[in-house]
A and B are shown apart, each in its own frame.
Chain A
Amino acid sequence: MLSYQKHDIQDITVFALRGNLDALTAPTLKKELENLLANRRIHVVFDLSGLELIDSSGVGAIVGLFKRVRTLQGDVKIAQLRGQPAEIFKLLRLNRAFEIFESIDQAVERFSA
């Protein structure tokens, strides 16, 4: 089960994910992320404080968005990474691609830095 909330801070979209981002739920999130791109929302912060589990399919959804927004001069930043998702990010060395922040505010501020 995955639930999410999103809100905009100027041209930045904050996506708060809660539950499991996995092979079962990633297709739904991908559709939502497609809508972001269709609306030219290319500055994205994922708030992962409520994310309990991510699997390789979930990683694919986030990485896929990251690669596409980067071609449009946008970016994806990660906030409040912990628990099992943190272990996955570490193993896959995703911290080398994504900037990861302790708080949403820090991630949002980074876009204007």
Chain B
Amino acid sequence: MTESSRAPALVPVATHKAVAGGEAVAACDAGSAGEVFRFVIPARLEYRDAARAFLAFVCAQLAADRRLPEDAGHRVISAFVEAFNNAALHAYAGRAPGPIEVELTVSHGRLSLQICDRGQSFIPDAIPDPDLDSLPEGGLGLFIIRGFMDRVDYHSQNGCNCLVMEKQLGQTLQTDPIGGLDAELPKA
């Protein structure tokens, strides 16, 4: 069995503690506290929805806890889809699909999504925003990511390219009835 034909792996590496960062992921692992889930998926679009379904589940849980409005969950999922597409279609273009590492971290105040590949890197700043008035049919992926997430960072090191995207989360009503996104949500 080749690397690319293996079934997607779901690996909850740690919960409620800092990620240690094993050897296989050390180059990509920024290390963060919170509930952490990590997937390693062959860079094929057919497998993308395995991770998306899990992300949708987490966003639904956050919505139920009133920490992430439903429409914000849609935006996070949109950004993930575009980031995965970019890695699968562009980073590994012209070569065998390698792994895509997806790390989802839910901490007290934010959701962090890290998508790493070992293909061709790119320079995000060299990609201009599209001219929406001209109704472009392509080149929208990075614009969607930037438009939907609160913070986006890209770095490439030791052959590992990582796109890190963050979304602010509100506090639960039990712990912080006034702060964060809850201030914008209707009170019961």
Contacts of A83 in B (CB 8 A): 74
Say whether chain B's binding surface is mostly helix, strand, loop, or mixed: helix
Q: Are B78 and A84 in contact (CB under 8 A)?
A: yes
Contacts of A63 in B (CB 8 A): 135-137
Q: Are B132 and A24 in contact (CB under 8 A)?
A: no
Contacts of A50 in B (CB 8 A): none
Known: A63-B135, A87-B75. A56 touches B49 (CB 8 A): no
Measured in the bound complex, the distance between the Cα atoms of B131 and A63 in whole Å is 14
For window 27-81 of chain A, which residues contact chain B by CB distance below 8 Å?
53, 55-57, 59-60, 63-64, 66-67
Known: A24-B46, A63-B135. A55 touches B74 (CB 8 A): no
Stretch binding the partner chain, chosen from B60-68, B93-101, B141-149, B151-159: B141-149
Contacts of B46 in A (CB 8 A): 24
Stretch binding the partner chain, chosen from A4-12, A90-98, A103-111: A90-98
Contacts of B135 in A (CB 8 A): 63, 66-67, 97
Known: A24-B46, A92-B132. A55 touches B137 (CB 8 A): no
Closest to B89 in A: A23
Cβ of B104 < 8 Å from any Cβ of A? no
Q: Are A56 and B74 in contact (CB under 8 A)?
A: no
Contacts of B141 in A (CB 8 A): 55-56
Q: Are A53 and B144 in contact (CB under 8 A)?
A: no
Give, as a whole number of angstroms, the nearest-CB distance from B117 to chain A.
15
Cβ of B85 < 8 Å from any Cβ of A? yes
Closest to A53 in B: B81
Q: Are B144 and A91 in contact (CB under 8 A)?
A: yes
Measured in the bound complex, the distance between the Cα atoms of B46 and A24 in whole Å is 7
B residues adjacent to A (C-beta < 8 A): 45-46, 48-49, 52, 71, 74-75, 77-78, 81-82, 85, 89, 132, 135-141, 143-144, 147-148
A residues adjacent to B (C-beta < 8 A): 20, 22-24, 53, 55-57, 59-60, 63-64, 66-67, 83-84, 86-88, 91-93, 97
